[in-house]
A and B are shown apart, each in its own frame.
Chain A
Amino acid sequence: MPEYAKFTEDMIKTHTILVPDMLPIHFKLLVAIFEAEGYKMELLRNDSRAVVDEGLKNVHNDACYPALLVIGQFMDALNSGKYDPDKTALLITQTGGGCRASNYIHLLRKAVDKNYPQVPVVSLNFSGLEKDSAFRISPKNFIKLLHAVLYGDLLMTCYNKCRAYEVNKGESKKMLAKWENRLGNIFRKGSNMYLKTKKIYRDILNDFGSIELSGEKKIKVGIVGEIYVKYSPLANNHLEDFLISEGCEPVVPSLMEFVMYCAAGTFNDAKIYDNNTKMSLAYKAGYKLLYAKQKELIKVMKEQGSFEPLHDFEHLRHLADKYINQGVVMGEGWLIPAEMAALAQSGVDNIICTQPFGCLPNHIVAKGMSRAIKQDNPNANIVAIDYDPGATRVNQENRIKLMLANARMEQ
């Protein structure tokens, strides 16, 4: 098998690392953190049809849509001529685990190797994979990334709420840009200001809280699902924008939940399978830190009072137990039914479950669990939407419209 290009020390200075457009808000902060370390990074924004076409060309027909899009976006960017292939690297997230997703990096390498063998692929992971790369995450950066997730989640939550109700069009977007800049600058400068979480949370909440909102009653629509399709506008055909245009409020559970789900999975497995190791104990300690951080944010959000706080993760775990064992850890695993139940419980009855067509774990955790969740929450209105290079927007939107018609009837 071929040796792939490696990311070496000296490339830190010479290479621009391209980042896929997965979580627009969060990844901006991520880029800033790595720039402080001397890396050059760029968040990709290309989303023409060529992205899908490149994906189709370079990825197996039956591979899942997120892989196809991420790889297509990279290939399209490299083909555009904007980047010198001798000075470009690609960043991809890697989770590990029994889902196909842990193979994305290999699929990407295969695709890149065909056309740009000199371009190294860099893995962003927290499982110690890919040890021979010069791209590393120091403990300090780990803490920074954690904060970026929390800030990103808070901005996303505030922004989604405000823009659904804002009286002065565009005000929320401006506010978002302001905070993206401000936080980006803190991270980029390498300042420790980001540790003043309580103050920053409050400032963000108050700033967004000052936006004038109409008092109208709107249908709240929760979005759960496969992590990439759920967050990436490129993948979900700008689902949040569509819901806003339909007069709804999109409610998107936070990325922190997924991060904690991954952390909890490791020590939980150790417990289920009587297999405690140093690694699982370390994860347990790490989880405690994450949970403390999440609780802090929730507490500030509750005190401030303008926005619905994030789901408390221990509460989510508790909810999951009603439907599915926490041993289900492939893909988004038990987190999807837990989030659906939490949304339904907090009055967000309408839930869109976004999934790549043919997603294996989602057979079990999404479509497989809908019936049980509906049984406990008779008002829940769950619709699974498949995303795929061939699925048309009209088809998806028509199904969402049906859900909304149902919702309006119940109002």
Chain B
Amino acid sequence: MANKYSLGIDVGSTTVKTVITDEGGNIIYSKYQRHLSKVKETVTDQLNMIRGEYPGESFTVCITGSAGLGLANSAGIPFVQEVHAAFLAVKKKQPDADAVIELGGEDAKIIFLTGGVEQRMNGSCAGGTGAFIDQMATLLGITADELDELSLHAQKVYPIASRCGVFAKSDIQPLLNQGARREDIAASIFQAVVDQTVSGLAQGRTIEGKVLFLGGPLFFLKGLRKAFVKTLGLDSAHAVFPDEAPVFVAYGCAVYAASSGDCYGIDEMIDKITNAKASDDIVTGEPLFRSQTEYDEFIDRHKQFDLGYADIRTYEGDAYLGIDAGSTTTKLVLITDDGRILYHHYSSNQGQPLDKIADQVKKIYEVMNPGVTIKGSAVTGYGEDLIKACLSIDHGIVETVAHFKAAAYFCPDVDFIIDIGGQDIKCFRIKNHSIDSIMLNEACSSGCGSFIQTFAMALGYDIAEFSQLGLFAQHPVDLGSRCTVFMNSSVKQAQKDGATVEDISAGLSSSIIKNAIYKVIRAKSPDELGKNIVVQGGTFLNDAVLRSFEKELGRNVIRPAISGLMGAFGCALYAKERADGQPSKLISAADLEGFSYTSRSANCGGCTAHCQLNIISFGKGRRFISGNRCEKGSGSPVKNKIPNLYEYKYDSILNTVKTHQPRKYRGVVGLPLALSFYEQLPFWHMLFTSLGFRVITSDESSRGMYYLGQHTIPSDTVCYPAKLTHGHIENLLDKGADFIFYPCMSYNLDEGGSDNHFNCPVVAYYPELLLANNPRLNNENFIHPYLDLNIRKNVIRVIGEALKKYNIKGRIPAAVDAAYEALERYHADVANKAKDIISQARAENRKIIVLAGRPYHIDKEINHGIHKLITSLGMAVITEDSVAHLARTPNLGVLNQWTYHSRLYRAAEYVTTQPDMQLIQLVSFGCGIDAVTGDEVRAILESKGKLYTQLKIDEINNLGAARIRLRSLVAAIEK
């Protein structure tokens, strides 16, 4: 029997939507409501409302949506996949649409309707969605609507990594700290969402024709709409934003229900939903506290680590100011000579650190007893340079040093410090009263403070209230310990399984702790951390987090009461140590009164890197410039040049094709300036030119080059060096070579001392992927033979077959020999240059850094100029391949089977024999092989008392974390 009404219930990750259609399929009722994770309650509410309007009716019903799946299963109500529901709705309402883009709370979907129906949704690692926008708005301290309003007044768009919320944050934060306009950042956030959708979802298929935009964010956010329409080049006739967009999927669900739903009365449905049995595969842990007494004891124990206070209004004497301009928060401390606190402040910087801090300093001047003299001031944190310049602070120090100073004040024997802040986890091991090793969270595993905050807000709580809830939770949920995006869906699942907010709160606290211990510190057992552990950072103010930490370690730790202010306190202590009796240079009350600044952005013209500069003008014609990697952009004159093998190698590779080209040539061969070519270009260049070909390479890498090939990247989690290759291929095709030559090589050259000599799978076979995904390539214009450079006769045969049509078989053996010689010359030249650099550095009494990575890490779009950052700190830079031959392979606990990677082990071994050298390992994000090598290189270095530093790099252009590491390294070397 056909029912009169059909009901579609769309339970998304953040909202519940219901739609009722009549016999004619017309929408006669619809409702859109945020559920704040109270899924069952909200659905029941809506059903009750429907009962009010349609008493006594029954409906054919169906559920859809990402959070609807579990509900439908447990309640025994039919379910339709949400993309499919959207498809059905479009077929009814907009039959002539060509494509549909739908953004939801945590999903992004695309449906191609014409030219082969295809429905896609984002993979498990993609954050360019509604939740991402909410998260970014939180970061700016505004609502999503305000973000939208801001974006409409943008003047420029910054490149922001769009793949994942965590990445985007690390792009946005420095922009904020450097004073970029919020309007521009807002627009950049929307543009990032668009780019993510276009590249991540469309994956090579062009979005064109009449495009329908659906989902809450696209309905409510005008700026986002604008960005989509502009990027896709649509006119108003081809960009459709239907009025029913927010409930469109629920409508599709009702359409599906009409044909295949089950029929129920409202009471029956409510009954089913209320009694839906939660699945029992939810894993829970022990409560944090079993009783109030236990909690009180815990509080008392931590109270002993408190500082004395003095009244700023009555105190007379010297004082020292410490400022911690953190990534999301601002901390200030003013202390007396004997370490008592006169004034302290902790707040979110709301993206405006300079304004916030200037306000606070002003406040200090207002309330301070005239008998106080500020004798010293120091600043640390992301905003260090900006604050130091603008407010003329005496000292800028690296965060790690600040935190160590503060921790040692409370616990002179401290051997481990862990600091969890808004966006960073920092851990340092202390040996012999100096920092021995530093561990920072990498871009992807940031389960830090701001995460809990965003989560609390999403659930409708403030952070303090939310964490308090977890203290006495009976069954804390086990949420795993990976990155934010994953944790989001773990929480969703737990909710569906019936976990309470209390259990989730406690579970989140424990996740953060596990993340820190097992991911960042990589401890095998809690004992590895040491005996005297000091915890700090705003996140540890949260008792649930602190308790989780102690529980996981099975050991009590010290949390100073000023846990959140430790960076600032350390700065104040440092300022006191360095005080010379004179008053601080700190900006005066009078100057502060008239203090104002303007910010603008510009591109540096110093070199081809074209760093994006932020220029803040303040005071009397003074400027603060940030965003530059080397001295050139800073506006100050360039000092004595510090030798840098990265630059030498890069120039040498670029210059290869400028020399030795045949005047008359039989053809033009194109070689992409990517992956293995950064090492083997001298070989292939010599081979082809000797055979009478002109050789061209693709142009230098840039972000633009990446965008050029972005649409042909099938796997968005592959490493950035591989992704860039797509752009190089497009570039070469445009440059018009007769053919592109790019061989596949399972094996690299055998350099001895290793178990085998493979290339990594990506380097070995990337040509196969390029051919299969770039429609412009074919077997004629893209020659990608398999060969093994170790076997001369194989190279001769394979090249002979590849170039058969040129009829030059006889000339090949000699050309191959010349090519081997050229490659050898190149290697020898690099090794010689390294010798020169080492002796020059030693003559100038400089430390030497072996910046160890892969050959393609010399690409400046890949290394983001990290080598320049190192030279700017006064150290010389050489490469792993230039010294690997100087040492034998040490005993390893792993299979040593990749050529490039085995160099790392030998280079590390070599470094352990050189007192003035340190090794820094560069790791491209997503390189699974470096998961193996990283631990091993660390073991080699640490067994001989060297420091191990790893820098992870991706498309993100933000060197903030790298800078902290490098400066901490310098501080540690100097000790």
Contact = CB atoms under 8 A, between A and B. Distances in A.
A364 B766 contact: yes
A367 interface: yes
B926 A103 contact: no
Contacts of B891: 1
B917 interface: no
Contacts of B269: none
Contacts of A2: 893
**For chain B, which range describes its interface: under 10, 10 to 19, 20 to 34, or 35 or more residues?**
35 or more
Interface in B454-500: 478, 480-483, 486-487, 489-490, 492-493, 496
B210 interface: no
Interface string A376-411: 001000001010111111111111011011100100
Contacts of B28: none
Contacts of B760: 98, 360
A67 to B, nearest CB: 9
B636 interface: no
A372 B779 CA distance: 14
A363 B81 contact: no
Contacts of A1: 890-893
Contact of B493 (A58, A274, A362, A392): A392
A97 B755 CA distance: 11
B762 A273 contact: no
Interface in A279-303: none
A183 B192 CA distance: 58
Interface string B782-808: 000011100101100100000000000
A368 B204 CA distance: 12
Nearest to B520: A61
B935 interface: yes
Contact of A328 (B496, B524, B717, B768): B768
Given A98-B746, A273-B787, A323 B772 contact: yes
A359 interface: yes
B69 A405 contact: no
Interface stretch (B118-126, B230-238, B574-582): B118-126
Interface in B547-582: none
A391 B122 CA distance: 13
Interface residues of A, number: 76
B739 interface: no
A390 B928 contact: no
B411 interface: no
Contacts of B931: 60-63, 100
Nearest to B120: A402
Given A49-B478, A357-B124, A398-B69, A106 B893 contact: yes
A273 B797 CA distance: 9
A329 interface: yes
Contacts of B797: 274
Interface in A225-268: none
A99 B761 contact: yes
Given A98-B898, A363-B715, A364-B766, A394 B489 contact: yes
Contact of A363 (B722, B747, B892): B722
A347 interface: no
B746 A269 contact: yes
A20 interface: no
A371 B204 contact: yes
Given A106-B895, A397-B69, A405 B81 contact: yes
A371 B897 contact: no
A56 interface: yes
B788 A406 contact: no
B66 A398 contact: yes
Interface in B748-792: 756, 758-762, 764-766, 768-769, 772-773, 786-788, 791
A368 B715 contact: yes
Contacts of A99: 761
Contacts of B932: 60, 63, 100, 103, 107
A364 B761 contact: yes
Contact of B765 (A61, A330, A367, A404): A330
A110 interface: yes
Given A273-B786, A358-B926, A401-B81, A102 B895 contact: yes
Nearest to B789: A273
Contacts of B791: 273-275
A64 interface: yes
A370 interface: yes
A58 B519 CA distance: 10
A406 to B, nearest CB: 6
Contacts of B82: 398
B746 A330 contact: yes
B948 to A, nearest CB: 14
A222 interface: no
B455 to A, nearest CB: 15
Contact of B481 (A56, A64, A107, A357): A56
Of B84, B762, B928, most buried by chain A (CB within 10 Å of CB) is B928
B116 interface: yes
B357 to A, nearest CB: 35
B746 A327 contact: yes
Nearest to A265: B746
A144 interface: no
Of B524, B718, B761, B764, most buried by chain A (CB within 10 Å of CB) is B761
A186 B573 CA distance: 77
Given A390-B487, A392-B492, A398-B69, A114 B524 contact: yes
Interface in A85-142: 97-100, 102-103, 106-107, 109-111, 114-115
A388 B84 contact: no
B220 interface: no
B83 interface: yes
Contact of A61 (B123, B445, B756): B445
A75 B361 CA distance: 55
A388 B766 CA distance: 24
Nearest to A326: B786
Given A1-B892, A106-B893, A370-B714, A100 B929 contact: yes
A370 B760 CA distance: 21
B746 A62 contact: no
Given A363-B715, A406-B119, A388 B769 contact: no
A114 B125 CA distance: 32
10 contacts: A60-B932, A61-B519, A62-B930, A100-B929, A273-B791, A361-B765, A390-B482, A394-B70, A397-B69, A405-B81
Interface of A: 1-2, 48-49, 52-53, 56-58, 60-64, 97-100, 102-103, 106-107, 109-111, 114-115, 269, 272-275, 323-325, 327-331, 357-365, 367-372, 378, 384, 386, 388-399, 401-402, 404-406, 409
Given A57-B518, A371-B773, 5 more contacts: A64-B928, A362-B715, A363-B722, A397-B69, A405-B119
Interface of B: 66, 69-70, 79-84, 87, 116-117, 119, 121, 123-125, 204, 283, 445, 478, 480-483, 486-487, 489-490, 492-493, 496, 514, 518-519, 522, 524-525, 714-715, 717-718, 722, 744, 746-747, 756, 758-762, 764-766, 768-769, 772-773, 786-788, 791, 793-794, 797, 890-895, 897-898, 926-932, 934-935
Report the 7 A-B pairs with minimum CB-CB distance, sorted nearest first: A390-B486, A390-B482, A405-B84, A62-B931, A98-B758, A368-B769, A273-B788
